[in-house]
Amino acid sequence: MEDNLILCPKCGSDACYKTPINEFHSNYVCFGCGYQTSDLIREGEFNFEEYDQSLPYLYVDIKRTDSEGRVWYPQSVNIENQGTVFAYGKNKDEWKWAGVVMVEITEEEKSKFKKPGTEDEYYTHKTDMKSLKLFEQNNFMDALEYIGVFND
């Protein structure tokens, strides 16, 4: 089974990856709109009440349903040592994509960034909130580019 690029059922973008889970179900990740779903996450067939409790309020507020009943949630993308992209805002009317880059941890700071469960392993990068940059709702790929996802 392999990924297929399809037209996104939510936004119509041609940057949606459909990845089979099994012969009946697939996952969908769209880099056009920044949302993701699965054939298993459908209205009437999924426990949204429990699932939504584990998400930030904004992610629940901006989830969307497509014509086949699949519920789409915004993605959070975290690339180690590069940065994070996530939905940022107050509610469905006031939100944007946020990009935050990571910076190297200095030798002086190293002791504050020990990896959990290790004796002497430390993270090499930290999130730099001063680098937070906002992107319009239709510019998810620009936010990914900002954190270096498309760099060689």
What tokens appear for 47 in the block? 């426990």
pLDDT the model gives residue 52:
94
pLDDT the model gives residue 2:
61
Q: Give pLDDT tens digits for 104-128.
A: 999 999 889 989 999 889 999 999 9
pLDDT the model gives residue 53:
94
Does residue 83 register a pLDDT over 90? yes
Q: Give pLDDT tens digits for 36-77.
A: 999 999 998 899 999 999 999 999 999 999 999 999 999 999
Q: Which residues contact 26 (CB under 8 A, 6 or more apart)?
A: 18, 19, 20, 38, 39
Q: What's the rounded Cα separation, in Å, for the pair 121 and 18?
A: 37
pLDDT the model gives residue 150:
84
Does residue 21 register a pLDDT over 70? yes
